[in-house]
Structure formats: C-alpha cells, structure tokens
Structure 1
Amino acid sequence: MVDVWGTRSAAGRTRTVAALAALLLAVGLLVAGQAGVTRADAAPVAAEAESTSTPAARKGPDPAYVVTPGVTFNHPFKKRKRGAIHRKIVKTLKNVEAGQTIRLMTWNFDSPYLARKFIAAHKRGASVQIIMARGLAMAQGPGRSYPVLRNALKKGNADRPKELRSWIRTCAATCRGKGGAMHSKLMLVSKSGATNFIVMQGSGNFTGSAAVNQFNDWTTITENQAVYDGWMQMWAQARRDKSYPALRFTVGNITSIFAPHRGEVDPALKVLNKVQCQGATNTGTGRTKLRIANAVWGDERGAVIANKVRQLHNEGCDIQVVFMMMSGKIRGILRGVPAKQMVYITGATANKFKDRYVHLKGMTVKGNVDGRPDGNMVLSSSENWTKLGWSSDEQNVIFQDDAALTDKYISWIEMIYRIAPRTLANYVNSADPDPTVRVKPGAEYLSPKDYPFHELEAELY
C-alpha cells in the first residue's frame, strides 16, 4: 500500500502543480483552443460504454472501462429512468482503482446506497474527500449518511499521504465565501477505468429524492486536463473554507463559472445577452429557440433575468420555460411568456417527499447566439436564480457550439413542458418556503429528520 500511494502521490503532485501553473499563467485563467475538448457529438450518451472484460469474471475495477462524456437525465415518473444519474455515478466509482482521487461537493448527501459505494472505493485504496452543507450534516442522526461516511472514511488512512486521506467535512457557510450556503453538486475523479480527468456536475444532490422526486441533469467531461485542473483549483480553495476571489475560466468551448460571485455578469445573463431572436439558420423557422429549466426564481436577481426573458419573447424568440417555484412579481413579469410549473402533486396537498418537480437549473439556446446564426449554447448549473444562489457555493458550465448537447437539452425541456400540469395562471405553492422570505442558510428546506430516505431508495434498488 505504501508503494502504491507513494507512487500515485508523487506523480499526482507533479502533474497537478505543472498543470495549475500553466493554467494560472493564462490571463484571467483563460485557456483558448484546447485541442482535447470533449464534445457531446464525439460519443453517444445513451448508455455507458461496454467493458472489453467479461463482467461476470471481474469483481474489482475494470481497467478497460470507459466513462462516456455528455449529459444524463433522470425521469422521476419512469421507474427505469429514475436512477439514471445514480447509475452513472456508481459505474464511475466502481472502476476507480487504488491511488486515484475522488472529490465531491454536494448540498445534501443522504443516501445509504451511494454512501456504501463511496466507502467501497475508499476501502479499495482510492482517496475519497466529500464536502456537504453543515446545517444538513449536523441534523443527521446516527445511521444517516454523514455520520456513517465520517466514521468509515477515517479508517485506513494511516499509510496514506495527508493530501490523499479520505474524509467528509463541512464548511461554516460557503466554502469559498463568507455567507450563503454550500450548494454545489459535482464530482471530480482523476481516473476511472481507462478514462482520465473526469468532471461531473449538475442539478442533483446525492439523495434518493434527487432520483425519485426530481427531474435533474448531470453532465460529464472527460480527458480534458485543463478543465479538470481548473475545477481542482476550485476544490483546493473550497477545502480550506476561506474567502477567495471569483473564479471563471474558459477552455476551448467550455466556460466554468463558480459562485460566490463578486459582481460579475450573472451566468444566466452571460448567455441571454448574446441572444438575437431573428436570423437563425439552424431552427427551420428563422427564430432563435430558447428553452429554460430553472427550479427557483426569486428576489431582484430572478426579476432581472425574467425581464430579459420577457424582452426576448417580445423580440420574437421561440421560448419555453419550466420551473418549480417563482415569486408573484416574477410570474407577473413573465405573464404571456410560454411557461409551465412542473410540480405534480401526488396527494391532496403539496408534499416535498411525494411530489414530482423540476430541479434542473439552466437553459439552452439554438439559433442566432454570440454572433453566429447557427449557434448553440447550453448552461448547466447547480444555481437557482435567487440572491442566495448568487452568494452560495455553486457551479455553472456553459457549453458552446455543441449541437448534439444542445439538441438533447432542448428535447428534454420540451418533454417536461409537455407534461407539466400547471401554467402561470394556476400556480400552486410547493412544499418549499416562499423564496421572498429571508431564511437562515442551511434551513431552506424541511429538516433531514423528516426525510424518508429508506422509502425513496426502496423505489430505486
């Protein structure tokens, strides 16, 4: 074990230091024209690539396993598709060998099933480090995921270098700021099977609810060291639980934006401000197509974004919006814009643990965008469009000129729009609190003691 960790640590440190030095030398952390950028149209995302080894004969990691880049969606109404994101995560974990690193940030980790998979990776010799929101972690009693992971990941660290020991911990509020909450949802893996430099992120937390109750997205970038090292720089800052400057950088066609923000252009407006509604050559109608799926719109920030959407609607853009929560002021701004509330109430009243709702946090554009009449753009994020989202730990990724990825998002959001049961006119309050009411960070939702994780996971496994 000492030889394995010693070799991995030295190589890992050398590679990381060199890569980060190169990244930091670029002005504003800008790295342009990266040749190895992974594109959704370079490989299919419908299913994981098959291993060349015989599955029945292999008990440990498969060195030939390939992590497929692109986007994965789950569908809470369809049993076989509920756990799609979970399966993507578990297959990646299963093929991480000893000496490799797994880094995770999630607002909530409350899944006995996923906890067992991370613990198994740690026991194999992988370095597992997890950060989650403190309020939720502290509210979990014995037998829940946080204390189980905390105790299990402490064991077996004696022979490992300090930076490669496994742990789960929390930050005081945000990990890279002074207020807000830790609300990111991402996983960084140095290598799984034959695939290197894996960046996974999206809207889903590591809970049964993320699969059974919510529509979520999960994008995967592979074999792109510059993107991976940039995200690892963010991780290195987050683990110190101190305030850092804003971090934004572009590698090829991928722009990464991390909150807390420091007065920069809003990630949503960074996309919307580049949209021209007419002159599209790739939509068939000449109108730019804008599909938006963001769970929560609130505060003045949400109103500013809504006003921009309203402007683009008036200018002739083809727009569809799906959401879960929205203040009355913002609903008023969007009146007349095609918008639906995806909160499907399964009982007599709204119940967060029974209802099905949209939890994605982003948008996609096809048409005249960023000066290209045949442009494509996707924003995938953990960030609700609220004041709290602005000041919390969040991640945003903008994929540009990736037609296959754009089409997948458009199709998925249009499907949610078709089945969403409510319009702005028959909006109902969800089980979450009114976004206009100021709440203590970490207490935005129902207490973890009320979370029926065993019941939810019984629907999956």
Structure 2
Amino acid sequence: MTAVLSATVLAVVALATSTSAASSGATAGPQGLQRLAGAAIPFTPPPGAVFNRPSGTPEAKHRIINRIDSAIASTRRGSTIRIATWAIDIPKTTDRLVAAHRRGVNVRMVLNHKADSAQLRRLQRDLGTDIDARSYAVVCRNGCRGSQLAAMHAKFYLFSQAGRASKVVMVSSANLTQGGIFKGWNDLFTVVNNHRLYVGFRDVFTQMRTSQPAKTPYKIVTTPAGRFQARFYPRPGDGTRKTDPVYQDLTRVRCNGVRAGTGINGHTVVRVSMFYWTGLRGEVLARKLLALDNAGCIVKVIYGAPSPRVSAILRHRGKNDGIDVRDSRYDFNREGTVDERVHTKYMLVSGIFGTNRSASFVWTGSANWTKPSLRRADEVTLRIRSKGTHSHYLTNFRDAYRNGSRPTPYSN
C-alpha cells in the first residue's frame, strides 16, 4: 500500500513540477511525447473545489491546470475525454492531450473559432477535425447550440474514467490558457461518479460538436435530492426578469430570520465574485442586489470588469450603508492594461433560500452577468447545495477580498 501511495505522489509531483516550471515553454518533443503516451499515471481526481492564485507561488498559480493535466494523464486506453473551452495556448497541456490520444484514449474537444492559437492548430493536426472519428478538435463558428451571433464560452472537462473515478465532471471559470494561470483568479469544481450529471454534460457536448442550433438550447439537469443542478445556456426569452434564472434565484432569497449555522447574526449573506458584468441585464442584477442589501441582507461583491453604470449602482450607499464592493483590477506596471483580476463567475448564498432557512448554496461556472451570456452564448452554470462547498468558496472569496481586491468609493 505504501509503495502504491508513494508512486502516486511521485507521479503527480513530477507532473505538477513540469507543468508549473514550463507552462509557457516548448513542447515535450518526440521522446517526451512517447514517455507521456505510456501508461496512465496513478492519479484520481478528488471531488470538490480548487482555486488558483495568480499572484501566489508557482504551485498556487498552477493549481487548476495541474488538476486538469493530472486527470488527462490518468486516463487509460479506451476511455474518453471531452473538453469544451474557449481557447488553449499551453504547450504542456497540449502534450498531455496528444499523448492521451496516442495511448488509445478518445480525446474530443470543442473550442471557439475566434481563439486561434498554435496549440489549437497542433491539436487539429494530431487529433483531426472529423467528429465521427474517435478523437477530434473542432471549433464552433460563433455559437454551438444557440445563436450564430454569439460565442462558445463554456468551460467544462469530462472524463469517462480518470484513475479510480468514473464519470468525472469538471466545471470551471478557467480556459486552458496562460491568462487563466497568471492573470485571473479562477475556480474548478469536480464531481465524480455521478451518472445523471455526467450524462447531461455528455449529451450537451454531443450537440455542441455539430455547431448547429439546438431546438431547445436551454437545458437543466438536476441530480437526486437537488445537490447539483447544471444549467446549459443560451436561455431564449423575451428579455424580462421572469426568464433570467439568476434574477429568479435572487427573488428566492430572504434576508431576515436565518436559523443558526448560516448567515450572520440572523441575516442572509450574498457574496458575488463576477468577472464581466455589463449592460441592461447587469444593471438589473445589480439593482436586485442593492434591494436585498436594503432589505437586510449582507451583500458583498468583488468585480473584475463591470460597466461604469453597474459599478455606480453597486456603489450606491442605499439604506444599510450599501453593498460592500471591491475592485479586483490591478495594473501593476501602470501601462494602461489590467494585469490581474477575478475571472470567477460565482455567487454564494448563506441563509434563507426559498423555504430553506439555513441554506448554503454555490453557483459557479462560465457565465458572466451579461445579456449575451444569458440569451446567445454557450455557457454552463453549476449550482451546488452543500455547506462544505460553500465554506471552501467562502475561503476563496475572503482570500480574493483581502489579497486580490481593494475597496471602491461609494456614491450617494
């Protein structure tokens, strides 16, 4: 048993070290690929959340990509990897995908056609672009399942088998890019051995690969007892609040009378870490958060790319001293571009949600709070009902609050 554990630790450490040390370096080369294409490493993806820290240690920066790379390297011949992501530009991850294909793993990828890169072209050379073949790397021309005026923006990673786990679903805010490592705070949440959730993601991926609009693109998959709920966008609608799932979630939040064990001093707490937050939809959601704060909820926000109007709404002092708003944008070299900010898209609720007076929920995924993310783009949001998961995300929120953002001035 000790020997097996030691081998596992050594394999994962070796993989993590090579990825962290040279994520932007050259490819492995023929001999390196031959070595990688050998036996799968003894790694099993653990369930739950993992977060990177773009301003942290090399290990902290690479936590998410190392987890994905290790899962890829743990797949055995005959298993299937399915990846939907905006872009890929990391040679080491490409090496592992090509090696898995050569090992006999079915490697299937859907990406956005606007995010061209040397690594995408390499994957298309090695895996091909025939969706009827066992492996392929294809791009969606604008939307995959929805509007042809939108973009493929989903970020999920599926493994029929990885180590001792089967039916692995990973949902993330991170693409397979250098920016996801060094410039953005990101998250990755893993679910293992869950048949209903895995099949739901697999079926959506199968639709996405054809790059043809689906008759009913908005799809909800809920697991027994409602612990997990995946929402696949776009969500066609008339533009009203009734057809915005996020707004409807916020209408189920009540602020006062929380039972012990959740919330703060009897008040529900809503925390949002959101990258892109713009337009009329963004303004409506911002006003709803302000209304919750006025009603007695404790609302805390970290944003990465808000419109000026959304920022002004959030910073309005309101009835109870206003929302606690933090700006995560940093321009370290003062050249006029953002070097670091939150790229996460999650919301946490601790308190009253619906009829549950001691609820702990997390919503996370790829969807920004914009109209295109709701109505046109390929996106996914995973809702998790779990006090433990909420606690893990709360730790990340506090880290980004204290170490990756700064307060914004209020407006009256």
CA deviation digits over 1:15-50, x for unaligned, max 9?
xxxxxxxxxxxxxxxxxxxxxxxxxxxxxxxxxxx9
Equivalent-residue separation in structure 1 for 2:253 and 2:405 (angstroms): 29
The correspondence for 1:288, drawn from 268, 271, 280, is 268
AA aligned to 2:105 is A
- 1:275–1:356 distance in 2 versus 1, CA, 3 Å: same
Task: For structure 2, list consecutive stretches of 5 or more residues without a partner in the other structure.
Answer: 13-37, 318-322
Matching residue of 2:160: 190
CA distance in 1 between counterparts of 2:252 and 2:335 reads 41
- Please say if residues 320 and 417 of structure 1, whose CA atoms lie closer than 8 Å, have aligned partners that are also in contact: no
Aligned to 1:232, the other structure's residue is in SS state helix
Which position in structure 1 is the counterpart of 2:50?
72
What secondary structure sits across from 1:425 in the alignment? coil
Three-state SS of the structure 2 residue aligned to 1:307 is helix
1:44-193 matches, within 5 Å, as: 52=5, 54-55=7-8, 60-62=39-41, 65-79=43-57, 80-137=59-116, 140=117, 144-154=118-128, 163=132, 165-178=134-147, 179-193=149-163
Look up the match of 1:348.
334
Alignment partner for residue 220 of structure 2, among 248, 256, 260?
248
Q: CA deviation at 1:382?
A: 0.3
Report the Cα offset of residue 271 of structure 1.
2.6
**Does the residue aligned with 1:61 lie in a helix, a strand or coil?**
coil
Give the secondary structure class of the aligned counterpart of 2:388.
helix
CA contact (8 A) 1:101 1:164 kept: no
Residue among 296, 304, 307 paired with 2:284: 304
Residue 151 of structure 2: SS of its match in structure 1? coil
After superposition, the C-alpha distances for 1:364-399 in whole angstroms (9 at most, x for unaligned) are 111111211111110001011112212101011111
Q: Map residues 359-370 of structure 1 onto 2, 5 A cutoff.
A: 359-370=343-354
Determine which of 261, 278, 282 is the counterpart of 2:256.
278
C-alpha distance after superposition, 1:296-355 (max 9, x if no partner) = 110111011111101111011111100111112212221232111101211023324xx1
1:320 aligns with 2:300: yes
1:396 maps onto 2:412 in alignment:
no
What is the CA-CA distance between 1:248 and the residue it aligns to?
1.2
Equivalent residue letter for 2:382: V
Deviation at 1:164, TM superposition (A): 5.3
Q: Is the 8 A contact 1:331 1:424 kept in 2?
A: no
- From 322, 325, 331, the equivalent of 1:339 is 325
1:262 corresponds to which of 202, 225, 236: 236
Offset from partner CA, 1:206-245 (integer Å, 9 cap, x none): 0011011110010001000111001111011111111111
Helix, strand or coil at the partner of 1:240: coil
Change (3 A) 1:53 1:229: farther
Residue equivalent to 2:180: 210
Q: How far apart in 2 are the matches of 1:51 and 1:232?
A: 32
What is the rounded CA distance, in whole Å, between the counterparts of 1:318 and 1:284 in structure 2?
8
Query: Residues of 1 paired with 2:179 and 2:312: CA distance?
Result: 30
SS in 1 for 2:211: coil
Cα distance per residue 1:402-456 (max 9 Å; x no partner): 00000111121122122344434399xxxxxxxxxxxxxxxxxxxxxxxxxxxxx
Aligned equivalent of 1:411: 395
User: Does the aligned pair in 1 maintain the 2:267–2:297 contact within 8 Å?
Assistant: yes
**1:340–1:420 contact (8 Å) kept in structure 2:** no
Q: How far apart, CA to CA, are the structure 2 residues paired with 1:171 and 1:154? A: 15
Query: What is the aligned length?
Result: 364
Aligned counterpart, 2:196: 226
For residue 33 of structure 2, what is the aligned residue in structure 1?
none
Report the CA distance shift for 1:51/1:164 in structure 2 as closer, same or farther (over 3 A).
Answer: farther
Q: CA deviation at 1:67?
A: 1.6
CA displacement at 1:102 relative to structure 2: 0.4
1:57: how far off? 8.8
Distance 2:340 2:112 in 1: 23
* TM value normalised by structure 1: 0.75
342, 353, 365: which is aligned to 1:381?
365
Give the match for residue 434 of structure 1.
none
Distance 1:276 1:382 in 2: 26
**Contact 1:267–1:396 (Cα < 8 Å) also in 2:** no
Which residue of structure 2 aligns with residue 237 of structure 1?
Answer: 207
Residue 232 of structure 2 aligns to which amino acid in structure 1? F
Cα RMSD after superposing both structures: 2.2
Q: Distance in 2 between matches of 1:261 and 1:218?
A: 23
Q: 1:208 is aligned with what amino acid? A: Q
CA contact (8 A) 1:52 1:65 kept: no
- How far has the Cα of 1:129 moved from its partner? 0.9
